[in-house]
Amino acid sequence: MNPSASRIKVQPATESEGRKDYIRIQDYGFWYGAKKALDAISLDVPERRVVAFIGPSGCGKSTLLRNLNRMNDLVDGIRHEGDIQIAGRSIYDPGIEVISLRRRVGMVFQKSNPFPKSIYDNVVYALRIMGVTDRALLDEACETSLRKAALWDEVKDRLNDSALGLSGGQMQRLCIARAIANRPEILLMDEPCSALDPIATGKIEELIHELKAQFTIVIVTHSMQQAARVSDHTAFFYLGKLIEYDTTEKIFMNPSQAQTEAYISGRFG
Amino acid sequence: MTQVTNDTSAPKGEPWVWFTSLGLIVGLTMVAGLLALVLYNGFSVFWAPPVPTVKLSDGTVLMGQMAQHRVRPDSPASQPKYERQYQVGLRELNGTSYVWADEAKIVQENFPPQTMGLERMENGPAFVTPIAFVDSKGQRVLFKKESFEGLTSEVEYAAEIREELNAIQRQKIGAVNAKMEASRIDLRRAEDRSEPTAAIKTQIAALELEFNQLRELAEKVKAQNALAKIEVRDARGREVVLPMATIVRAWLPNDMSVWDRVSLFFSRLREFLFDEPREANTEGGLMPAIFGTLVMTVFMSLMVTPFGVIAAIYLREYAKDGVVLRMVRISVNNLAGVPSIVFGVFGLGFFVYVLGGSIDQLFFSDQLKYNNNTPVFGTGGLLWCSLTLALMTLPVVIVATEEALSAVPRGMREASLAAGASKWQTIRDILLPASAPGILTGVILAMARGAGEVAPLMLVGVVKLAPTLPVDMVEPFLHFDRKFMHLGFHIYDLGFQSPDSDAARPMVFATTLLLIVLVVCLNLGAITIRNRLRARYKGASF
Ligand SMILES: Nc1ncnc2c1ncn2[C@@H]1O[C@H](COP(=O)(O)OP(=O)(O)O)[C@@H](O)[C@H]1O
Ligand SMILES: [Mg+2]
């Protein structure tokens, strides 16, 4: 692949007033039982920017992403070392509950996973479990989230229909709406477009551009074009190690590591 | 061509298709045969066929409905000889209702139109030739074809009076008796504690007065019909007078239209479904048993579902995987294979004696002390039956729920947790609704097993004849302590404990049919609910 595919404008990091180490990963190592999946990762994600994780399958992108909201706590026999901080506070801080962490860090999965409930109930799920019962508040949150997810016009007349009747692309945008309904600060996306057709993919990418104004976004992607199109910074992983992390422009135009160069030009992966 | 047929490397799987399908066919044939047998025999109970008068070569004359036709056990297989069984009725005269006749000895068989069938309150049916009847005013009417309608209305009047008497005896006198019982206990208690007894004694006297008045009323009602009777002649020419009050139904089996037969069929079916049993349960209806079975099954389901679901949630969602969990799983699965009578013994030993005994000690000590130690909960009853069967079917629900929970896509669970839901919120809002159809499948299986179970119930509260229903209009409406009747036990009792097994046989089939229908209905109901849920939780497309 030609690095010049990153023609899409890469916003210079300086444009933001947000802090540069909004998410700070320090010497982070992670084990599934005896298997080491991450090895001494250090990386800072700036506020209100899009960071893409790229790398061959099994290199630990999802593992790192799922550590950011401690979804991996569900797996038996895991262990970690080092630390991850969000806005200056460790996510392993005993004073922070996992639940409140997850409320601040929304997540969109590779396979869209709407609940077998109505569209409305899906979107306001996070608010409901937080105890919000005020119908007006819920209605408003539902509309804003669906608008932000660019789904409102398509579903506004059938909010009470089952979410399982939507198309694949709509379902994934619904999952995005659901993830942002309780206004998290960070949005994690694990290959959100891998099951979608190009048109649906285009819509989601546009969406990511818009969401960036409010959320810090970390996206795992298999498509180098996508990383180039949507992200400001790109991290390249290989076998559990962070090989190179820089602005997307730099990674795709002028990588400093030979492995990165080889990967993005399609010579391995 | 030859090359193809000689190709030995091709897999030779085809014979197994036939072999396996044979298994299916054998199984299906057996089930279909069983159902056909039960259907045929069950429904023929209500059908009134023509009734022959048969002359035998030794001069005997029989009049009765043919009940069986079979090869004589002493005849050689190469030249089978047959014999027939006739239900001639009039057990008080003949000693038995049924007579065998060698088919070779039958010299004449005809169907005289005046032959009459009578269903009676006692001593089984009667097949006779009517002579005359006396109506309730004492008017004697010689029987002719035209007077049959008059007879029918007399029979109906007799039924009305029986119903009236029943209302007085069972309901009003029953209520007075219950009050009297309570007052006597009060009296004994008061005497024991040397408290004043005058008020209680006047109360008892008032109740006794009421009791006597009701008895008198009952006698008066009975007297309205005392004159009515029917004079008949049996096949041997003996004349008998039958009080009208004992006649349930009269029909002319050789002189009625198909329509009459159909309406007789439905009238008997209605009696079977909605009336109470007579004659040691071999005749009349099954309403108390149907009701008891339904109520017990419903309570069993209501008890087993929450326990099973909660246990399964713990096992699947909270318990840490390990040796203990595996042992528990194995035990639960093996529990499903424990013979049901073992649960009956456990129910009797633990629920009835230990739990029931303690409840009596704690809450009904007065009752025990002043009522000759008559237990309330310390004896078999609806509650213990439901609990015993709930325990027996618990593994079914647990296994089904566990499977349903684990079948919920992982993505849904993760989505909920990622949205900041706690584990319990995820279970309550996502996992349980999504696994509701699977849980219901388990409940259906549990119901199907519980509704047909007899052995354990015999130990913990099912009886041959219960004077009252477990749910009625007397406070507290739901009588968990009462013994009740059950269709499965009814079948056992009719078929194997009845003194007159010939008379009981048709009812065994009819009751079996009813039990099958009941279980199918319960299942259909639950399946409908499950499908509704499924439709709600499964979307149109993906
Ligand atoms: N739940 C798990 N248990 C054990 N090993 C896992 C688990 N999830 C992932 N792994 C392993 O960790 C490594 C990294 O996986 P993952 O983060 O999913 O890779 P990627 O998303 O980059 O394809 C892989 O070798 C994978 O086999
Ligand atoms: Mg992955």
A126, B420 Cβ separation under 8 angstroms:
yes
Mind telling me how many Å the CA of B329 is from chain A's nearest CA?
A: 20
Task: Give the model's confidence band at A177: pLDDT under 50 very low, under 70 low, under 90 confident, else very high.
Answer: very high
Residue B540 pLDDT = 35
Mind telling me how many Å the CA of B542 is from chain A's nearest CA?
A: 7
**B-chain residue closest to A188, CA distance:** B418
Instruction: Give the strand pairing for A50-54 and A233-238.
Output: parallel
Residue A106 pLDDT = 93
A158: three-class secondary structure by DSSP: coil
Task: Give the model's confidence band at B95: pLDDT under 50 very low, under 70 low, under 90 confident, else very high.
Answer: confident
Query: What is the arithmetic mean of pLDDT over B269-275?
Result: 90
**Counts of helices then strands in chain B (DSSP H, E):** 19, 14
Optimal mutation site among B320, B414, B435, B536, interface A, most CBs of chain A within 10 A:
B414
Chain A contacts to B (CB-CB under 8 A) = 69, 71, 74, 76, 99-100, 102-103, 106-107, 109, 111, 113-117, 125-126, 128-130, 162-165, 167-168, 175, 178-179, 182
Optimal mutation site among A74, A119, A125, A128, interface B, most CBs of chain B within 10 A:
A125
Tens-digit pLDDT profile for residues B205-226: 998 999 999 999 999 988 888 8
Q: Which of A30, A31, A32, A238 to mutate to test the pocket of ligand 1 (most atoms within 8 A of CB)?
A: A32
| Dist CA B115 CA B63 (whole Å) | 8
Of ligand 1's listed atoms, the one at least distance from the Cα of A191 is: 21
Of ligand 1's listed atoms, the one at least distance from the Cα of A220 is: 21
B242, B126 Cβ separation under 8 angstroms:
yes
Optimal mutation site among A66, A115, A124, A155, interface B, most CBs of chain B within 10 A:
A115
Please name the CATH architecture into which domain B287-541 falls.
Answer: Orthogonal Bundle (1.10)
Whether A5 shows a pLDDT value over 70: the answer reads no
Query: What is the arithmetic mean of pLDDT over B290-315?
Result: 93
B232: three-class secondary structure by DSSP: strand
| Cβ-based neighbour number of residue B15 at 10 Å | 8
Nearest to A164 among B429, B430, B538 (CB): B538
Whether the CA torsion A159, A164, A167, A172 is positive or negative: it is: positive
B537, B436 Cβ separation under 8 angstroms:
yes
Q: Do B419 and A126 touch (CB under 8 A)?
A: yes
Whether B512 shows a pLDDT value over 50: the answer reads yes
**Structure tokens, B496:** 């194997």
Mean pLDDT across chain B: 87
Query: What is the arithmetic mean of pLDDT over B46-72?
Result: 91
Q: Do A71 and B414 touch (CB under 8 A)?
A: yes
**A-chain residue closest to B422, CA distance:** A99
Show the DSSP H helices in B452-486 as ranges.
455-460
Mind telling me how many Å the CA of A101 is from chain B's nearest CA?
A: 8
Give chain B positions within 8 Å (CB) of A103.
419-420
Chain B contacts to A (CB-CB under 8 A) = 321, 409, 411-412, 414-422, 425, 429-430, 433-434, 536-542
Give chain B positions within 8 Å (CB) of A100.
420
Mind telling me how many Å the CA of A184 is from chain B's nearest CA?
A: 10
Whether A215 shows a pLDDT value over 80: the answer reads yes
Tens-digit pLDDT profile for residues B398-412: 999 999 999 888 889
Flag the least confident range among B255-264, B375-384, B431-440: B375-384
Residue B347 pLDDT = 92
Nearest to B420 among A74, A103, A109 (CB): A103
| Cβ-based neighbour number of residue A264 at 10 Å | 25
- Percentage of chain B beyond pLDDT 90 is 39
ipTM for the predicted complex: 0.88
Instruction: Give the strand pairing for A186-190 and A105-108.
Output: parallel
**Structure tokens, A28:** 């982070």
Whether A16 shows a pLDDT value over 70: the answer reads no
Whether A79 shows a pLDDT value over 60: the answer reads yes
Annotate A20-70 with DSSP letters as a single string. TTSEEEEEEEEEETTEEEEEEEEEEE-TT-EEEEE-STTSSHHHHHHHHTT
Length of chain B counted residue by residue: 542
The model's pTM is 0.80
Residue A246, sorted as left (phi over 0), alpha (psi -120 to 50) or beta, turns out to be: beta
B284, B373 Cβ separation under 8 angstroms:
no
Residue B498 pLDDT = 78
Contacts across the A-B interface (CB distance below 8 Å)? 82
- B471 closest CA partner among B485, B459, B460, B491: B485
Mind telling me how many Å the CA of B499 is from chain A's nearest CA?
A: 60
* Single-letter amino acid, residue B361: Q
- Percentage of chain B beyond pLDDT 70 is 96
Q: Look-up: residue for tokens 């399908």?
A: B21
Tens-digit pLDDT profile for residues A86-119: 998 999 999 888 999 999 999 999 999 999 899 9
Whether A47 shows a pLDDT value over 70: the answer reads yes
Tens-digit pLDDT profile for residues B478-505: 788 888 899 999 988 888 887 777 778 8
Q: Look-up: residue for tokens 């009853």?
A: B381
Higher-scoring residue by pLDDT: B145, B391: B391
Whether B435 shows a pLDDT value over 50: the answer reads yes
Q: Do B411 and A113 touch (CB under 8 A)?
A: yes
Optimal mutation site among B318, B320, B321, B417, interface A, most CBs of chain A within 10 A:
B417
Q: Ligand 2 centroid to B536 CA: how many Å?
A: 32
**Structure tokens, A156:** 């506004």
Q: Do A99 and B421 touch (CB under 8 A)?
A: yes
Q: For B32-65, b where at least 16 C-beta lie within 10 A, e where not — what string?
A: eeeeeebeebbeebbebeebbbbbeeeeeebbbb
Tens-digit pLDDT profile for residues B38-58: 999 888 889 999 999 999 999
Residue A7 pLDDT = 34
A220, A204 Cβ separation under 8 angstroms:
no
Give chain A positions within 8 Å (CB) of B425.
129
Residue B183 pLDDT = 86
Residue B265 pLDDT = 94
Q: Do A107 and B418 touch (CB under 8 A)?
A: yes
Mind telling me how many Å the CA of A55 is from chain B's nearest CA?
A: 23
A174: Cα separation from own chain's centroid = 15
Residue A243 pLDDT = 94
Mean pLDDT across chain A: 88
Protein residue whose Cα sits closest to atom 24 of ligand 1: A58
**B-chain residue closest to A167, CA distance:** B542
Residue A139 pLDDT = 95
Domains in chain B: boundaries: 54-110, 133-255, 287-541
Q: At what angle do helices B432-451 and B287-313 cross, to 10 degrees?
A: 140
Tens-digit pLDDT profile for residues B323-373: 999 999 999 888 888 999 999 999 999 998 999 888 888 888 777 777 777
Dihedrals phi, psi of A198, to nearest 5 degrees: -60, -35
Q: Ligand 1 centroid to B392 CA: how many Å?
A: 43
- B61 closest CA partner among B123, B107, B115: B107
Q: Which of A36, A39, A62 to mutate to test the pocket of ligand 1 (most atoms within 8 A of CB)?
A: A62
Give chain A positions within 8 Å (CB) of B416.
115, 125
| Dist CA B229 CA B151 (whole Å) | 10
Give chain A positions within 8 Å (CB) of B417.
71, 74, 102
| Dist CA B400 CA B435 (whole Å) | 9
Compute CA distances B533 → B248, B365, B433, B439, whole Å. 48, 47, 9, 11
| Dist CA B17 CA B53 (whole Å) | 56
Residue B414 pLDDT = 92
Nearest to A111 among B411, B416, B433 (CB): B411
Residue A55 pLDDT = 92
Give ligand 1 pocket residues (Cβ under 6 A). Answer: A 32, 35, 37, 55, 57-63, 75
Dihedrals phi, psi of B248, to nearest 5 degrees: -95, -40
Compute CA distances B11 → B7, B14, B17, B151, whole Å. 10, 8, 13, 78
B274, B261 Cβ separation under 8 angstroms:
no
**B-chain residue closest to A101, CA distance:** B420
B436, B526 Cβ separation under 8 angstroms:
no
Query: What is the arithmetic mean of pLDDT over A115-136?
Result: 93
Q: Is B17 exposed, middle or buried (0-12, 13-18, 19+ CB in 10 A)?
A: exposed
- B267 closest CA partner among B117, B141, B51: B117
- Percentage of chain A beyond pLDDT 70 is 93
Protein residue whose Cα sits closest to atom 8 of ligand 1: A63
Compute CA distances B476 → B296, B383, B479, B481, whole Å. 17, 14, 7, 11
